[in-house]
A and B are shown apart, each in its own frame.
Chain A
Amino acid sequence: NAGVTQTPKFQVLKTGQSMTLQCAQDMNHEYMSWYRQDPGMGLRLIHYSVGAGITDQGEVPNGYNVSRSTTEDFPLRLLSAAPSQTSVYFCASSTGLAGGRETQYFGPGTRLLVL
């Protein structure tokens, strides 16, 4: 198993550009999520999905879109990049079967710099 994979590892964007961060998992997990990590703030939930075709907003969804057409993939789209979106982005997945007790599995992260 590759686990959770993310591409790219690093990206530089100019303000106003759009891009898609890719996330895939091969563990047949129903639950997937995107977090952003900023210094001194831990990780904050952007969007999440409880299964193919079902997505919802987390704490900091503004400026981001998601879709979930398959169980395996959960891309995150930046519509018009802003410097405030400079961050490290982590994708995570879990079974969703243990009522909050389950482990979340994280990808290696995408470091994004918006100029």
Chain B
Amino acid sequence: GNSVTQMEGPVTLSEEAFLTINCTYTATGYPSLFWYVQYPGEGLQLLLKATKADDKGSNKGFEATYRKETTSFHLEKGSVQVSDSAVYFCALSSISGGYNKLIFGAGTRLAVHP
């Protein structure tokens, strides 16, 4: 079945460091891929998405490229800020019973220190 695997956290970085959070997926067909972010005490919100191979999603300085050949969608940011501290979820869309559900990875907690 479809699944998402992302690197375990927590990831602890100093401000202005480079961030990579790895995400790989298993899926039939060509799913859309997403990164959602959950700030402390809040629900999930979309960070970025890519809907076909080689697409690059970007938002708030974060980027991820849909790599079909390596089945990956790694999240990167060149210079993290304290305000980026959150839990990041990689997800793919999967059609089941006519419904486009999301299949999530386990989440990666990021802590950025000044």
Interface string of A9-53 (1 = CB under 8 A from B): 000000000000000000000010100000011111100101000
Q: Interface size (A, Cβ < 8 Å)? A: 28
A58→B97 CA distance, assembly (Å): 10
A100 near B32: Cβ-Cβ < 8 Å? yes
A104 in contact (CB, < 8 A): yes
What DSSP secondary structure best describes chain B's contact surface? strand
Q: Which residues of A sit under 8 angstroms from B81, Cβ to Cβ?
A: none
Looking at A60-68, A72-80, A105-113, the stretch in contact with chain B turns out to be A105-113
Which residues of B40-67 are within 8 A (CB) of A? 41-46, 49, 51
Q: Which residues of B sit under 8 angstroms from A42, Cβ to Cβ?
A: 4, 89, 91, 104-107
B101 in contact (CB, < 8 A): yes
Which residue in chain A gives the minimum CB-CB distance to B104? A42
Further 9 A-B residue pairs, CB within 8 A, beyond A31-B100, A48-B101, A103-B49: A31-B99, A43-B44, A43-B104, A45-B101, A48-B99, A92-B44, A99-B95, A101-B32, A103-B46
